[in-house]
């Protein structure tokens, strides 16, 4: 077994076909296939099964893939530390981010980090739903996750950064009966929502369920970048973080706070192991920024 074989395994897991995997690691497909078969022979298990035109990990393969990611990350960290004497002159950092946090606070966080550590390359991954952040961190695909800390994550370390207020954003011209919306008023409005399982949808459903209410869904959409245009076009009201709502306000949307206030706990997740120098620096910077008025929302 060697590191190259582990790279092949991770590439196939990510790309789902041997052809794309070979291209991603810059080898021929026969070479990659031979490497996978050799590793399967050494381990005595089948790692991948063919599913139509793609391949999928077997149950044993999933465990090997997770272990391979950890080994490759640790080797990359070791190489980076040795090469730069832990001065953060070089290296990579994989960060998985909840989609609604990609603008705030991620943009400012990455911008400042890059100013301080220009030699570090940052890879930002975006999951389909909140649970994907935790899964990416557990599997080793990402070293840090920035997410809604809605519940405890067994075996992972959580670092609370700030509390983010969620507001209702309505189409231009909406007449406000009150300064703040009650759950009953919100439930009566046509709503633009993200799918079940996403962070903001979970907050909405739980908020209404406390009063035995259900959302009046007008549009359900997974494309977050389309939500504000839909609101501005008059399709309905949506719940968004305060910072995201500011762009809609500038374009004529009407924003209301909720009563009681709706907030979510935003923080970092990482495995309970030693962080790489780059990840450690990112954690420390996030904590510093969240302690300042510009660093994050509070409610």
- pLDDT tens per residue across span 44-87: 999 999 898 899 999 999 999 999 999 988 887 776 666 554 55
Give the fold, CATH level 3, of 3-67.
Arc Repressor Mutant, subunit A (1.10.10)
pLDDT for residue 103? 78
Rounded-to-integer distance, Cα 195 and Cα 201, Å? 7
- pLDDT tens per residue across span 182-206: 999 999 999 999 999 888 999 999 9
pLDDT for residue 214? 96
pLDDT for residue 296? 43
Give the fold, CATH level 3, of 90-162+265-291.
D-Maltodextrin-Binding Protein; domain 2 (3.40.190)
- Which residues lie closer than 8 Å to 29 by C-beta, 6 or more apart? 18, 19, 22
Rounded-to-integer distance, Cα 232 and Cα 185, Å? 20
pLDDT for residue 152? 76
| Residues of the chain with confidence (pLDDT) below 50 | 85, 293-299
> What is the CATH code for 163-264?
3.40.190.290
* Residue 234, number of CB atoms within 10 A of its CB: 12
In the chain, CATH 3.40.190.10 sits at 90-162+265-291
In the chain, CATH 1.10.10.10 sits at 3-67
In the chain, CATH 3.40.190.290 sits at 163-264
pLDDT for residue 85? 47
pLDDT for residue 295? 44
pLDDT for residue 25? 95
């Amino acid at each position: 077994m060697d590191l190259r074989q582990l790279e092949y395994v991770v590439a196939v897991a990510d790309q789902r076909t041997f052809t794309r995997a070979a291209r991603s690691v810059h080898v021929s497909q026969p070479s990659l296939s031979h490497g996978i078969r050799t590793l399967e022979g050494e381990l005595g298990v089948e790692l991948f099964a063919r599913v139509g035109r793609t391949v999928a990990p077997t149950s044993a393969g999933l465990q090997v893939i997770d272990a391979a990611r950890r080994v490759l990350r640790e080797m990359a960290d070791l190489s980076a530390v040795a090469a730069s004497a832990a001065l953060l002159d070089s290296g990579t950092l994989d960060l998985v981010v909840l989609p609604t946090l990609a603008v705030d606070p991620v943009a400012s966080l990455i911008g400042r980090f890059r100013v301080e550590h220009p030699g570090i390359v940052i890879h930002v991954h975006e999951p389909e739903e909140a649970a994907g952040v935790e899964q990416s961190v557990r599997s080793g695909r990402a070293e840090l996750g920035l997410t809604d800390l809605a519940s405890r994550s067994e075996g992972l370390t959580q670092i609370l950064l700030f509390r983010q207020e969620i507001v209702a954003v309505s189409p231009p011209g909406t007449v406000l009966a009150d300064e703040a919306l009650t759950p009953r008023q919100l439930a009566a409005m046509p709503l633009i929502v993200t799918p079940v399982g996403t962070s903001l949808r979970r907050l909405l459903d739980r908020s209404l369920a406390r009063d035995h209410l259900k959302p009046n869904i007008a549009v359900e959409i997974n494309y977050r970048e389309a939500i504000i245009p839909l609101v501005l076009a008059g399709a309905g009201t949506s719940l968004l973080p305060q910072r995201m709502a500011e762009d809609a306000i500038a374009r004529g949307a009407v924003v209301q706070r909720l009563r009681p206030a709706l907030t979510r706990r935003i923080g970092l997740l990482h495995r309970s192991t030693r962080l790489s120098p780059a990840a450690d620096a990112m954690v420390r910077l996030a904590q510093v920024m969240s302690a300042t008025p510009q660093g994050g929302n509070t409610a």
